[in-house]
Amino acid sequence: MVIAYEVDASTVISFTVAGLPVAQPRARHARIGNHVRTYYPSSHPIGNWKNMVVIAVREAFANAALSAPIDCPVFVRAEFVFPMVTTTKMLQKTSKPDCDNLTKGLLDGINNSGVWRDDSIVYSMHTTKRYAKDGELACTKVEIALIDPILVSKRRKGRST
């Protein structure tokens, strides 16, 4: 199913996070007395990568001249670009890390930036992971498009606009 959104270019926030994309690791658990504490290993690079996401999205949000945290439905497009491997000529990356774990880390980083209420406002998302083309560096390219809430509710009810 393909859904086309009518989005004004002024309501699209684009940014790039330089460097190798990092997937969200599985949570670890430790028992402390009668309580269980959930944590992520401090040695894992996800913390630094989320901080890079925060910096990139805040800068893009400031340049877009939008005020207050976003609190309307959004469409997110994320492209995770990995360094080219010499053993393949394909651009599509079909090995680990998984798209869903990459996406979790990205959305957590955007949540930490405070530019939107919560990632529950993501109405639709398109995620790809691929190898870099010649001369291209590893990075994560992101577009966040604000969607008119009235348009979304009409489409949910099956009405055309």
Q: Are strands 139-146 and 74-82 parallel, antiparallel or unpaired?
A: antiparallel
Token pair of 101 as six digits: 């774990």
- Distance from chain centroid for Cα 135: 24
pLDDT tens-place values along the chain, 161 residues long: 444 555 555 588 999 999 999 998 877 778 888 988 877 777 778 989 999 999 999 999 988 877 668 888 999 999 999 998 877 777 888 889 999 999 999 999 999 999 999 999 999 999 999 999 888 999 999 999 998 755 544 444 554 44
pLDDT of residue 149: 57
pLDDT of residue 156: 46
pLDDT of residue 126: 97
Sheet of strand 122-131: strand arrangement: 12-18, 139-146, 74-82, 122-131
- Spatial separation of the C-alpha atoms in residues 116 and 122, rounded to whole Å: 10
pLDDT of residue 63: 86
Q: Are strands 139-146 and 122-131 parallel, antiparallel or unpaired?
A: unpaired
- Spatial separation of the C-alpha atoms in residues 145 and 125, rounded to whole Å: 10
- Distance from chain centroid for Cα 23: 11
Helices (H) and strands (E) in the chain, counts: 3, 6
Q: Please, what are the domains in the chain? A: 11-156 (3.30.1330.70)
pLDDT of residue 79: 98
- Spatial separation of the C-alpha atoms in residues 50 and 105, rounded to whole Å: 7
Token pair of 108 as six digits: 């957590």
Specify which residues 75 forms β-bridges with: 124, 145
- Spatial separation of the C-alpha atoms in residues 80 and 154, rounded to whole Å: 32
